[in-house]
Amino acid sequence: MFVLNRFNLFITGLSFVLILNGCSFSDSSGSISDSIGSVSDSSSSISGGSTKYESDVEDYTYAYLKSTSGTTDYADFQKGLSDIAKKRGISDWESDEHTYEGMGKALKKAGIEGVGYETYKKNFANSDTTKMKQIQHGYDSKD
């Protein structure tokens, strides 16, 4: 009887531990949904289109602005942008207006105004007037 009780206790304890172990682990090779036949494959992530890309740029830029104190490392920022664009099938993100629209929206969301805004706008756009206009458009379009 004692042995049986110990066994029951063991099973209950083990079950509890397994039930508690409620975390999915991330496979470095990528999600199952990246597979060649899955619905959520790379082509469908590309097909999210420009809206998704712009939204990612906005979120990334906003997070970057919120977590950067002091001098902004623009090269590091641009590397992050390249990673986002890469997932969407865009190599030349500098020629994509959605990149700058997204940045503009993020600047507005972060509440950056005045000289601070103008400095970011100029640096993000590398002083290119067309890109600065795109940033401004994104900024103005954000509620």
Partner 1 sequence: MKRLWTLLAVLLCNTANADTFQYLYIEANEGSSSGGHVAVQFGDEVFHYQFKDGLIRLFKQDAEGFRFDYRVLQNRTLHVADVEVSAATFSLLQDHFKLIFWQQDRQFKQLQAAEKDRQLLEWLLRSHTALLSSRQISGYIPHPSPFPEGEGIFKLPGAGLFFNDSDFAPVAGQLTEPHGGCQTDASAKTLLTTLRTQLALQHGNGFLQRRKVELTTAIQHLSAVTNGTNDYRFSERYTDLLNGLLALRVIEETRPLTSDTCHTLTGPEGHLDPQKTERLNKLQQQLMQSAQNLAVSKRPDWGYALLVTMSRLVALQQTLQSGQWVFVDDFSAESTVIEAEDMMRFADDLSVQRQKAETVWRQQWQVLGNTELDEQHYSQLEVSANRYHEWLVSNNRQTLRYHGEQALPVKAINLPVIALPEFSSQQLQQALDQQVSDAQQLTQQLEQHYAYHLLTRNCVTEIFHTINQALGAETQQRLGGVIDEHLNIVPFTAFAMVKASYPVKHITVLPSHRQQQLAKQYEQEFPPLVYARESNVVSASLYDYNPDDAWFVFFTDDALLLRPVFGAINSVAGVGQSLFGLVKSPFDDGQLLATGIRGLLMSLPELAFINMRKGSYKFLSPDSASQENLPGQ
Which residues bind to partner 1, rule: CB under 8 A? 8, 11-12, 14-15, 17-26, 28-50, 53, 59-60, 62-64, 66-67, 70-71, 73, 75-76, 78-80, 82, 86-92, 94-95, 126
Which residue, 64 or 139, is less far from partner 1 as judged by CB? 64
Which residue, 37 or 114, is less far from partner 1 as judged by CB? 37
Closest distance to partner 1 from the beta carbon of 132 (Å): 15
Q: Cα–Cα distances in Å, from 130 out to 12, 32, 65, 68, 92?
A: 66, 41, 22, 26, 16
Closest distance to partner 1 from the beta carbon of 56 (Å): 9
In contact, 36 and 64? CB cutoff 8 Å: no
Which residue, 76 or 118, is less far from partner 1 as judged by CB? 76
Which residue, 1 or 114, is less far from partner 1 as judged by CB? 1
In this structure, what is the dihedral angle of CA atoms 58, 72, 121, 45, given to the nearest 10 degrees? -20
In this structure, what is the dihedral angle of CA atoms 42, 47, 51, 55, given to the nearest 10 degrees? -10
Q: How many CB atoms lie within 10 A of CB 2?
A: 6
